[in-house]
């Protein structure tokens, strides 16, 4: 008897196996209060949606979903990132609605309807086969006006993620703000078009996102870009801010430029964060760490600010490799990046005015 599953990895289960229920988010927390290490893990214990009808019925604002792939990176482990980020929370109790951002005093889960949308179907033996199913699932969220936040997985998923957003909002209307150590702009990697080093080239060459609407922050790799790749990036008008520029004029000035550039034409922003943009002193749990990166005190407020001051319609956080994270810090910062993004979106929903907003008491102004 053959054990070949064929294309079953991307086929939904037959409808007769689904229990009859009204569409809407499903709260999987049986008890009023559970420690984070108990119960069925969703991101921060939020309800689960199983399909687009659940998203619509729940009037969802943000859907967290996973893209558990790592076969394009040459470094195994990032496929376990989505589960790790969801279930390794260090705080004790599941009570997201009570969570308060310490800098802005905004309650993101009380302001936004946030759900977990599970994981995209992926082919564990083929990164190429996994691209379209990821794109389709991200598009399901964006089509109803909700914001997909995708937990990686390696950075190959930027290609289907941002392409899905462009499918919904239109080519040329979406810019990308990309925090990374590496440019990820190669046309191919060891002969492969789909890899964690090529998603930017795929998006630009396939005309989903114009090159001038890519804004990169934090590049500092000894590996790339070389002179040829740097010339390719400049020819396409990409806006790239290296750590050398951050050292020269400061992170605050670079971030100001990046936000202005992101809004130069597009109406909407897709935010992509490779965890290796943080110095490995803070985030060692990644397959391609390089010394000299950003600090959390630079990156995390920047994410919140972009989500407050621009119309962010999608986001990913990628390259978290649990087996390389002995102190849990990498998962903690990846999860905090999502929480800061949600806080910024909540500030935008609440129409809190101004740039670089901080609560006056938290900021020591009162």
Domain at 56, CATH number: 3.40.800.10
Classify residue 108: in a domain, yes or no. yes
Classify residue 223: in a domain, yes or no. yes
Classify residue 270: in a domain, yes or no. yes
- Alpha carbons 164 and 139: distance in angstroms, whole number: 5
Q: Are 155 and 203 in contact (CB under 8 A)?
A: no
Residues in CB range of 68: below 8 A, 6 or more apart: 79, 80, 81, 82, 83, 119, 120, 122, 152, 153
What is residue 303's predicted lDDT score, i.e. its pLDDT?
98
Tokens of 157: 């998923």
What is residue 130's predicted lDDT score, i.e. its pLDDT?
93
What is residue 345's predicted lDDT score, i.e. its pLDDT?
98
What sign has the CA pseudo-torsion 356, 299, 282, 107?
Answer: positive
Classify residue 203: in a domain, yes or no. yes
Helix (H) or strand (E) holding 314: strand 312-318
Query: 170: domain range?
Result: 34-349
List residues bridging with 272 in a β-sheet: 178, 316
Q: Are 183 and 240 in contact (CB under 8 A)?
A: yes
Classify residue 8: in a domain, yes or no. no
Classify residue 120: in a domain, yes or no. yes
Classify residue 87: in a domain, yes or no. yes
Which has the closest alpha carbon to 320: 335, 307, 331, 305? Answer: 331
Is the pLDDT at 195 greater than 90? The verdict is no
Classify residue 48: in a domain, yes or no. yes
How many independent structural domains does the chain possess? 1
Instruction: Tally the C-alpha atoms within 13 A of residue 232's C-alpha that lie toward its C-beta.
Output: 16
List residues bridging with 279 in a β-sheet: none
Is the pLDDT at 26 greater than 50? The verdict is yes
What is residue 180's predicted lDDT score, i.e. its pLDDT?
97
- Alpha carbons 115 and 289: distance in angstroms, whole number: 31
- Alpha carbons 164 and 161: distance in angstroms, whole number: 5
- Alpha carbons 222 and 211: distance in angstroms, whole number: 23
List residues bridging with 196 in a β-sheet: none
Read off the pLDDT of residues 239-294 as tens digits, 9 standing for 90 and up: 999 999 999 999 999 999 999 998 899 999 999 999 999 999 999 999 999 999 99
What is residue 5's predicted lDDT score, i.e. its pLDDT?
56
């Amino acid at each position: 008897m053959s054990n070949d599953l064929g294309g079953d990895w991307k086929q939904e289960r037959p409808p007769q196996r689904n229990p009859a229920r009204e569409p809407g988010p499903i709260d999987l927390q049986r008890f009023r209060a559970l420690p984070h290490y108990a119960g069925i893990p969703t991101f921060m214990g939020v309800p689960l949606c199983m399909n687009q009808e659940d998203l619509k019925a729940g009037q969802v604002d943000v859907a967290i979903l996973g893209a558990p792939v790592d076969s394009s990176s040459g470094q195994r482990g990032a496929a376990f990132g989505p589960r790790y980020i969801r279930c390794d929370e260090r705080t004790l109790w599941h009570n997201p609605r009570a969570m308060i951002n310490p800098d802005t005093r905004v309650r993101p889960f009380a302001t936004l309807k946030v759900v977990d949308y599970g994981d995209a179907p992926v082919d564990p033996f083929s990164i190429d086969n996994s691209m379209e199913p990821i794109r389709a699932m991200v598009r399901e969220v964006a089509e109803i006006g909700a914001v997909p936040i995708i937990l990686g997985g390696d950075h190959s998923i930027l290609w289907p993620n941002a392409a899905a957003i462009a499918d919904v909002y239109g080519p040329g209307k979406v810019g990308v703000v990309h925090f990374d150590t590496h440019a990820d702009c190669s046309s191919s990697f060891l002969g492969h078009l789909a890899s964690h080093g090529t998603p930017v080239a795929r998006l630009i060459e396939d005309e989903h996102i114009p090159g001038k609407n890519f804004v990169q922050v934090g590049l500092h790799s000894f590996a790339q870009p070389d002179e040829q790749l740097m010339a390719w990036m400049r020819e396409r008008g990409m806006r790239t801010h290296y750590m050398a520029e951050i050292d020269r004029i400061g992170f605050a000035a670079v971030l100001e430029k990046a936000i202005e550039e992101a809004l130069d034409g597009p109406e909407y922003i897709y935010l992509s964060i490779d965890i290796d943009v943080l110095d490995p002193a803070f985030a060692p749990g990644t397959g391609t760490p390089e010394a000299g990166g950003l600090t959390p005190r630079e990156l995390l407020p920047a994410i919140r600010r972009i989500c407050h001051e621009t119309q962010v319609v999608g986001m990913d956080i990628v390259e978290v490799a649990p087996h390389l994270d002995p102190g849990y810090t990498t998962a903690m910062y990846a999860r905090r990046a999502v929480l800061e993004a949600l806080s910024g979106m909540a500030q935008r929903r609440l129409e809190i005015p101004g740039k670089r907003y901080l609560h006056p008491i938290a900021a020591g102004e009162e």
